[in-house]
């Protein structure tokens, strides 16, 4: 791949990062907007059921402190509940989806699927798979930066 192609890819990566920042900004101002981190948390809870904050942090691929902030926002929006663990450990709470949280997750998944279908309608399956590979590798690169 030539330098020009790498430059175009880098520009696209920066645009994606900027779009994520704008989405995070909207999510702090509006309960209707979910950041990607909020959406990952709802998805993890929908797929795996109630879990501790630390377990959720593993699924969301971030720190326990960051997930605590996510959970606070999701709880304030009525999307999750937090209850003390049955073990009686006051530091451990179990996070679970509410019915509203499950509906919001399902709405978000449908919007994402529809948007991805629209964005990729002119691409064949191999191109879509290649895009997925690039995004996965980009995530690995971001972790190294």
- 101: confidence class by pLDDT, cuts 50, 70, 90: very high
- 89: confidence class by pLDDT, cuts 50, 70, 90: low
Which pLDDT score, from 0 to 100, does residue 36 have? 87
Above 70 in pLDDT, residue 90?
Answer: no
Alpha carbon distance 65, 30 (integer Å): 22
Selected residue with higher pLDDT from 116 and 20: 116
Which pLDDT score, from 0 to 100, does residue 34 have? 83
SS3 per residue for 40-86: HHHHHHHHHCCEEHHHHHHHHCCCHHHHHHHHHHHHHCCCEEEEECC
Which pLDDT score, from 0 to 100, does residue 100 have? 96
Which pLDDT score, from 0 to 100, does residue 87 have? 66
Q: What's the mean pLDDT in 120-138?
A: 94
Q: 66, 98, 67, 93: which is closest to 82 by C-alpha?
A: 93
Residue 98 three-state SS: coil
- 109: confidence class by pLDDT, cuts 50, 70, 90: very high
Q: What's the mean pLDDT in 7-27?
A: 87
Above 80 in pLDDT, residue 145?
Answer: yes
Which pLDDT score, from 0 to 100, does residue 88 have? 64
23-54 confidence digits (pLDDT tens): 878 877 776 678 888 999 999 999 999 999 99
């Amino acid at each position: 791949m030539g330098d020009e192609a790498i430059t175009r890819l880098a520009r696209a990566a920066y645009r994606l990062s900027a779009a994520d920042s704008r989405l995070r900004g909207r999510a702090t101002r509006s309960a209707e907007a979910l950041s990607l981190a909020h959406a990952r948390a709802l998805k993890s809870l929908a797929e795996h059921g109630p879990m501790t904050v630390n377990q959720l942090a593993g699924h969301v691929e971030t720190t326990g402190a960051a997930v605590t902030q996510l959970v606070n926002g999701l709880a304030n929006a009525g999307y999750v509940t937090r209850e003390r663990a049955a073990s009686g450990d006051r530091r451990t709470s179990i996070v679970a989806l509410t019915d509203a949280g499950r509906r919001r997750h399902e709405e978000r998944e449908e919007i994402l699927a529809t948007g991805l279908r629209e964005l990729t309608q002119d691409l064949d399956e191999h191109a879509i798979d290649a895009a997925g590979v690039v995004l996965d590798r980009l995530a690995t690169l971001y972790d190294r930066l």
